[in-house]
């Protein structure tokens, strides 16, 4: 069973989705890729639950702690739904430490696919688990902020949150 609920974060509204196996979505509600992520999950229109599952409540609690600067990484069961290459990229994103950034090129090199920068960038851009799988930590070659499903302002705020003294 796939359940959804909303989460109102300080930087925008998210749609959380979970199955019995894990969290499958933490996506910006206004994202242009949102519909594609839902279709990849086999969902045409999410049915929002009025009674969030235990996993959704735990996800919201950990997001609250993250936004309160009390959590630097998430300890949630995650279920990736994507191509094998996308899942490989998303798994590598989990290795980017809190408070740091990485370029798309560096990410491609870490995956042993230095020539696949565009494919890596496309996989990062398809991440349905924003914040939980920290695609906001990926920046352009020159260190400038590049596209982000939640918008560049949200990306800037997330990076600022992570750089604040603890």
- Taking a C-beta distance cutoff of 8 angstroms, is the pair 101, 162 a contact? no
Q: Is 87 a catalytic residue?
A: no
3-state DSSP assignment of residue 20: coil
Among candidate residues 5, 26, 57, 135, the one labeled active-site is: 135
How far, in Å, CA of 162 to CA of 137, rounded?
10
Which pair of tokens denotes residue 162? 């992570």
Length of the chain: 166
The residue behind tokens 């796939």 is 2
How many beta carbons lie within 10 A of that of residue 106, not counting itself? 17
* Contacts within 8 Å (CB) and 24+ apart, 16-20: 16/52, 16/56, 16/59, 16/60, 17/41, 17/43, 17/46, 18/53, 18/55, 18/56, 18/59, 19/79
Tell me the catalytic residues. 135
């Amino acid at each position: 069973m796939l359940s959804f609920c909303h989460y109102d974060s300080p930087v925008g509204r998210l749609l959380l989705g979970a199955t019995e196996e894990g969290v499958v979505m933490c996506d910006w509600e206004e994202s242009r890729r949102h519909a594609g992520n839902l279709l990849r999950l086999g969902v045409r229109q999410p049915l929002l639950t009025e009674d969030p599952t235990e996993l959704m409540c735990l996800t919201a609690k950990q997001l609250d702690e993250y936004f309160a600067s009390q959590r630097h990484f998430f300890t949630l069961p995650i279920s990736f739904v994507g191509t094998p290459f996308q899942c490989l990229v998303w798994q590598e994103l989990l290795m980017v430490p809190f408070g740091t950034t990485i370029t798309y090129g560096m990410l491609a090199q870490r995956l042993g696919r230095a020539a696949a920068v565009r494919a890596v960038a496309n996989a990062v851009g398809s991440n349905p688990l924003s914040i939980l799988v920290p695609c906001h930590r990926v920046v352009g070659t020159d260190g400038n902020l590049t596209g982000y499903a939640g918008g560049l302002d949200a990306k800037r705020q997330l990076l600022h949150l992570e750089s604040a003294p603890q």
